[in-house]
Chains A and B, each alone.
Chain A
């Protein structure tokens, strides 16, 4: 099928290019491990403290770290496409019969594949540090991260193609990305938070993913948080992909 073949072409090309700059790969691999090493010991000492109902420190922390990793690893991919736009590569490809969707899906797929790799690294590091969680829970979490990764990458590309200016884009991404983990309850469960912060977190898809991850790590696969997390992830992925596809189609107009 044409879309599959075209997506595979773009995917392989993007991966080949990414692999050529080892700096990015190393940074990407090292970042989750460092955050784990820095925050882990801190939260471990909070077990049993006020408002923290279940689970050891790692079981609370790692799902949050996974979401933080997802956000940081995918939000900035849009910057890469500006170079393609400016060098004329995108326009050149648009004159070929290649599927317009494939131009987006190939890129999204390559970002998600790297994201999955980084999540696995994070989990391995967590296991080394003392995390104990069921395999099913970990797999489910990574799956949810992959799906929400589709949403964040698609949106990142869409915003980049609309703004088209790295100087504006970089601070824009930063302003959105930096407070997100805090407001999503990544570092601490929001049962500790004041009312207004709790309400704000309910509007942010990532907080549902964090809660779902925490339940998954406890083995509660059928809990309503897990369902909510999956629905939010899938829904936002579909919506964001639709937006991204539309922006890609109109990029030369």
Chain B
């Protein structure tokens, strides 16, 4: 089986899923699953989804005018989301993610550009867009004095379902999202996790093709977060496409097929969590020696694959692409030169590091004694 070179992911043309469509995308995903190094990152059945485009954003922009000044909150945002994907919007506060999401959900008109959501234009077919999407806002949208079933039924009726259909769907969703037994409780009496599940139910009651989630697990305890993640994964299994914003890197890592990074109103990067991690950061292999660090340096100086090497005391810190695969070669080289090795450690990149390098901060783990030469791009 031909090995897919990881180096190609460095070039902008093949970044993330932008140029992979339909079947060829699935094929490539399968190949990657076989040959890519960190199999640890790929749970069973995981891979980029291939469906036709469900969101096609082209040149979206939004300008706010306040007190004579013009603020470009969002500039030239273009991307595609395919059916069946879970795509995450990641970025620091003020990056423009919420503004973009509000444009995609018809709450805010775009100043410039357009998007096709499930085939309908944001500019000219808003009602059609509204029928196809579900939206769960960051703080939710349940009326505190309404009862759970009452709220679900009203929401269904707003989508023009009959009373009977509304009741049936509401019951189904209560069971599905673990709200059984709470049907007659006022929403203000629900716990945080229950409220969030109700908010998601409200977004799903009309069986949309596409669900928008704005910060779905913010302010929830870890158990509730995991529960919500489970539900989102199950939704995807049923064929739903999910578009979420989050500032939790572990959430983006755990849920998303692809991540779109936003910073300062524009899309800074996009790719699968692994792509991003691999591209922007690198593994750090730390070799602790029992002596002769300068000799070790000389031995490894020309070693293939090392991007950066520093020494601190008796420890050699090497930055390279694939720590796991490189270790045997490094150890053999040092062994052959007779240099005693005490320990070897591999430190893997986290999405945190990728995020920090994209937004211009130095990754914390590398801040102390290393120079990261692969930061901006």
Q: Judge whether B130 and A96 touch: CB under 8 Å.
A: yes
In the complex, per-residue mask of B89-116: 1 if CB is within 8 Å of any chain A CB, else 0: 0000000000000100111110000000
Q: Judge whether A92 and B108 touch: CB under 8 Å.
A: no
Q: Judge whether A9 and B157 touch: CB under 8 Å.
A: yes
Q: Judge whether B145 and A89 touch: CB under 8 Å.
A: no
Does A211 touch B at the CB level, under 8 Å? no
Does A252 touch B at the CB level, under 8 Å? yes
Closest residue on chain A to residue B146 by CB atoms: A17
Question: Which residues from chain B contact A91 at a C-beta distance below 8 Å?
Answer: 107, 137, 141
Q: Judge whether A252 and B137 touch: CB under 8 Å.
A: no
Decide if the interface of chain A is mainly helix, strand, loop or mixed. helix
Does B46 touch A at the CB level, under 8 Å? no
Tell me how far the C-beta of A4 lies from the nearest C-beta in chain B, rounded to whole angstroms: 12
In the complex, per-residue mask of A63-86: 1 if CB is within 8 Å of any chain B CB, else 0: 000000000000000000001100
Q: Judge whether B157 and A95 touch: CB under 8 Å.
A: no
Q: Judge whether B158 and A97 touch: CB under 8 Å.
A: yes
Tell me how far the C-beta of B194 lies from the nearest C-beta in chain A, rounded to whole angstroms: 16
Q: Judge whether B130 and A97 touch: CB under 8 Å.
A: yes
Q: Judge whether A97 and B107 touch: CB under 8 Å.
A: no
Q: Judge whether A94 and B127 touch: CB under 8 Å.
A: no
Q: Judge whether B106 and A87 touch: CB under 8 Å.
A: no
Q: Judge whether A20 and B154 touch: CB under 8 Å.
A: no
Other-chain residue from B108, B127, B133 in contact with A252 (beta carbon distance below 8 A): B108
Other-chain residue from B108, B142, B154 in contact with A13 (beta carbon distance below 8 A): B154
Q: Judge whether A95 and B143 touch: CB under 8 Å.
A: no
Tell me how far the C-beta of A181 lies from the nearest C-beta in chain B, rounded to whole angstroms: 32
Known A95-B135, A97-B158; contact A88-B141, beta-carbon cutoff 8 A: yes
Residues facing A in B132-173 (CB within 8 A) are: 133, 135, 137, 139-146, 154-155, 157-160
Q: Judge whether A98 and B139 touch: CB under 8 Å.
A: no
Tell me how far the C-beta of B164 lies from the nearest C-beta in chain A, rounded to whole angstroms: 15
Task: Tell me how many residues of B have a C-beta within 8 Å of chain A.
Answer: 27
Q: Judge whether B154 and A9 touch: CB under 8 Å.
A: yes
Q: Judge whether A95 and B108 touch: CB under 8 Å.
A: no
User: How many Å lie between the Cα of A96 and that of B141 in the bound state?
Assistant: 12
User: How many Å lie between the Cα of A221 and that of B145 in the bound state?
Assistant: 45
Closest residue on chain B to residue A251 by CB atoms: B107
Q: Judge whether A92 and B202 touch: CB under 8 Å.
A: yes
Does B345 touch A at the CB level, under 8 Å? no
User: How many Å lie between the Cα of A6 and that of B143 in the bound state?
Assistant: 18
Other-chain residue from B105, B127, B139, B154 in contact with A88 (beta carbon distance below 8 A): B139
Does A93 touch B at the CB level, under 8 Å? yes
Other-chain residue from A2, A89, A94 in contact with B107 (beta carbon distance below 8 A): A94
Question: Which residues from chain B contact A17 at a C-beta distance below 8 Å?
Answer: 143, 145-146
Does B131 touch A at the CB level, under 8 Å? yes
Q: Judge whether A9 and B158 touch: CB under 8 Å.
A: yes
Known A93-B158, A96-B158, A252-B102; contact A87-B107, beta-carbon cutoff 8 A: no
Q: Judge whether B108 and A253 touch: CB under 8 Å.
A: yes
Question: Which residues from chain B contact A83 at a C-beta distance below 8 Å?
Answer: 144
User: How many Å lie between the Cα of A88 and that of B199 in the bound state?
Assistant: 11
Closest residue on chain B to residue A103 by CB atoms: B158
Q: Judge whether A89 and B142 touch: CB under 8 Å.
A: yes
Q: Judge whether A87 and B105 touch: CB under 8 Å.
A: no
Q: Judge whether A97 and B143 touch: CB under 8 Å.
A: no
Known A17-B145, A93-B158; contact A253-B130, beta-carbon cutoff 8 A: no
Q: Judge whether A252 and B107 touch: CB under 8 Å.
A: yes
Q: Judge whether A92 and B159 touch: CB under 8 Å.
A: no
User: How many Å lie between the Cα of A94 and that of B129 in the bound state?
Assistant: 12
User: How many Å lie between the Cα of A96 and that of B159 in the bound state?
Assistant: 6
Known A252-B107, A253-B109; contact A97-B160, beta-carbon cutoff 8 A: yes
Question: Which residues from chain A contact B135 at a C-beta distance below 8 Å?
Answer: 92, 95
User: How many Å lie between the Cα of A9 and that of B151 in the bound state?
Assistant: 12
Q: Judge whether B105 and A95 touch: CB under 8 Å.
A: yes
Q: Judge whether A88 and B158 touch: CB under 8 Å.
A: no
User: How many Å lie between the Cα of A89 and that of B142 in the bound state?
Assistant: 6
Closest residue on chain B to residue A20 by CB atoms: B145
Question: Which residues from chain B contact A20 at a C-beta distance below 8 Å?
Answer: 145
Q: Judge whether A87 and B154 touch: CB under 8 Å.
A: no
Tell me how far the C-beta of B216 lies from the nearest C-beta in chain A, rounded to whole angstroms: 14
Q: Judge whether A96 and B155 touch: CB under 8 Å.
A: yes
Question: Which residues from chain B contact A2 at a C-beta distance below 8 Å?
Answer: 160
User: How many Å lie between the Cα of A97 and that of B127 in the bound state?
Assistant: 6
User: How many Å lie between the Cα of A96 and that of B135 in the bound state?
Assistant: 9
Question: Which residues from chain B contact A5 at a C-beta distance below 8 Å?
Answer: 160
Q: Judge whether B130 and A87 touch: CB under 8 Å.
A: no
User: How many Å lie between the Cα of A141 and that of B233 in the bound state?
Assistant: 61
In the complex, per-residue mask of B271-310: 1 if CB is within 8 Å of any chain A CB, else 0: 0000000000000000000000000000000000000000
In the complex, per-residue mask of A1-35: 1 if CB is within 8 Å of any chain B CB, else 0: 01001100100010001001000000000000000
Closest residue on chain B to residue A86 by CB atoms: B139
Tell me how far the C-beta of B318 lies from the nearest C-beta in chain A, rounded to whole angstroms: 50
User: How many Å lie between the Cα of A59 and that of B350 in the bound state?
Assistant: 81
What are 23 pairs between A and B in contact, CB < 8 Å? Answer: A9-B157, A13-B154, A17-B143, A83-B144, A87-B139, A87-B141, A87-B143, A91-B107, A91-B137, A92-B137, A92-B142, A92-B155, A95-B105, A95-B107, A96-B159, A97-B127, A97-B130, A97-B131, A97-B158, A252-B102, A252-B107, A252-B108, A253-B108
| Given A92-B137, A97-B159, 18 further pairs, Cβ under 8 A | A2-B160, A9-B157, A13-B154, A17-B145, A83-B144, A87-B143, A88-B141, A88-B142, A92-B135, A92-B140, A95-B105, A95-B130, A96-B155, A96-B158, A97-B131, A97-B160, A98-B158, A252-B108
Chain A residues packing against B (C-beta within 8 Å): 2, 5-6, 9, 13, 17, 20, 83-84, 87-89, 91-98, 252-253
Chain B residues packing against A (C-beta within 8 Å): 102, 105-109, 127, 130-131, 133, 135, 137, 139-146, 154-155, 157-160, 202
